[in-house]
Structure 1
Amino acid sequence: MTDANPSLAAHLLASSILTFKSMKKLGDGALRQLDDAGIRWTPAPESNSVAVIVKHVAGNMASRWTDFLATDGEKPDRNRDEEFMEDAEGHADIVAQWERGWAILFGALESLAPEDVHGTVTIRGEAHSVVEAIHRQISHYGGHVGQIVYAAKAYRADGWETLSIPRGQSQTFNDGMKKP
C-alpha cells in the first residue's frame, strides 16, 4: 500500500518515539532513586516489585520489537510467566535489562519508514495495523512506567525527588513557560 500522506505517517512515527522517550525518562528517574532494596520492595504482598515490572517490560519489548514487521510479536522463546518471578539480580542488572529493552524498541521504531505505518503485524497470531501495535505498546508501557514511578515514590517517601512539577509550584512553572 502506498502512503497517501507521508508527512502524517512520519509525524506519527516521530510522535511515537517522543512519547516512548518521555516514558523512558520517567522510568529512568524513578530507577535512579532506588537502591537494591528499593528495586525489590513491594507495596503489598501481591504487588510486583520494580525489578519484576522492569523484567516484564524488557521481556515484552524484546518480544514485540525484535523483527517487528516480519515476525509475530510473541516470540516462541519468550517465557512471560518467568518475567513475573523474583530473582537475585541486582540493581545494575535490572537497569541493564531496562536499557536493552528500550534499545530494541527504539532500534525498531527508528528503522521504520512512513510507508511501513500502513502495514500489518501479528501479535499472538492476531493481525494488527502497525499503528494499532504501536499504540498498544504505548498504553502497555505507560501503565507499567506509572507503576514503577508509584512504587519508587512510595518506597522513597519523604526522600522522593519529583520527576515533574513539585507540589505547590504549578503557577511558578506555568509563569516560567510563558517567558520568552
Structure 2
Amino acid sequence: MEIELEVIQSMLVKFKSERKWTLQAILQLSEEDITWSPNQESNSIANLVAHIRGCVHSRIETIFYDIADSRDRDKEFEHELKMSIEEAYNLTKESFDIIIQYLEYLSFNPNLLLSQPFINRPPLTFSQVNNETTVLNLMIAMVREIHYHTGQIIYAAKTRKGELVWQYD
C-alpha cells in the first residue's frame, strides 16, 4: 500500500473509533449533563459538540461541498448554550460522518493530499492552519483537534456519570 493510502486509512480508523466512543458517551447523559460545565471558564459538552461541528463546517464542508463558511465561532462557546441529547448526538454523528465521507473520497483520490484547497479562498479564521495548507496538514490538524475535544467530552461525561458503559462490538 502506498503511504498516502496508509495515512488516509489510519485517519479513517481513528475517526470511526472516536465517533463510536463519543456517541456512546453522549447517549448515557441527561440534558443537564450536556449543558453542565465545572466553572465559568470551562466548556460544556454542548459547547464542545457545537465547536466540533463548526470546525468540520469551516474546514471540510467548505472544501468538499464548496459551502461558504458561515461559522459563528463565538456562539459555539456561549456559556449558556442549550442542546438536547438528540441534538448533541445528531450534531456529533453528522460531524464525524462528514469527516469520514471526506476521507473515503480521499482514499479514491490520494493525490489530493498535497493539494492546497484554501489557496484561492478568503483567509481562514480561528484556525491552526493557513490558506497555504495542504489537505494532509489540514487532516492531521483535524485528527488533533477532534481527538482533543472528544477526550474532553468523555472526561466530562465520566465526571458527571462516574462509570460509563461501553459497547465493544
Q: Same fold (TM over 0.5)?
A: yes
Q: Distance in 1 between matches of 2:31 and 2:64?
A: 37
RMSD (Å) for aligned C-alpha atoms:
2.4
* Runs of 5+ consecutive residues of structure 1 not aligned to the other structure: 1-5, 165-180
Q: Is the counterpart of residue 114 in structure 1 residue 110 in structure 2?
A: yes
Shift in CA distance, 131/41, structure 1 to aligned 2, threshold 3 Å: same
Q: What is the match of residue 151 of structure 2? A: 146
Supply the AA of the counterpart residue of 2:101. G
Q: Aligned equivalents of 1:138 and 1:50: distance in 2?
A: 19
Question: Is the CA contact 1:9–1:114 (under 8 Å) kept in the aligned structure 2?
Answer: yes
- Specify the alignment match of 2:127 in structure 1: none
Given the two structures, how large is their TM-score scaled by the length of structure 1?
Answer: 0.77
Percent sequence identity over aligned pairs: 26
Distance 1:161 1:78 in 2: 32
More strand by share: 1
Aligned residues between the structures: 156
Q: C-alpha separation between the residues in 2 aligned to 1:129 and 1:88?
A: 35
- How far residue 102 of structure 1 moved from its aligned partner, in angstroms, is 1.4
Q: 1:10 aligns with which of 1, 5, 19?
A: 5
Task: Give, as a single letter, the amino acid of the residue that structure 2 aligns with 1:7.
Answer: E
Cα distance in structure 2, aligned partners of 1:104 and 1:70: 10
Q: Max radius of gyration: which structure? A: 1
The answer to whether 1:78 aligns with 2:58 is no
Structure 2 counterpart SS, 1:94: helix
Evaluate the alpha carbon distance shift between residue 162 and residue 118 of structure 1 in structure 2; reply closer, same or farther with a 3 A threshold. same
Is contact 2:33-2:157 (8 Å) kept?
A: yes
TM-score (norm 2): 0.82
Change in CA separation of 1:70 and 1:87 when aligned onto 2, cut-off 3 Å: closer
Q: CA separation in 2, counterparts of 1:7 and 1:30?
A: 35
The answer as to whether partners of 2:26 and 2:89 remain within 8 angstroms in 1 is yes
Code of the aligned partner of 2:141: R
SS in 2 for 1:127: coil
Point out where structure 2 has 5 or more consecutive residues left out of the alignment.
Answer: 125-129
Q: Does 1:135 align with 2:140?
A: yes
- 8 Å CA contact 1:57, 1:141 repeated in 2: yes
Deviations 1:99-146 (A, max 9, x none): 221122122121111111221233715211221111001001111011
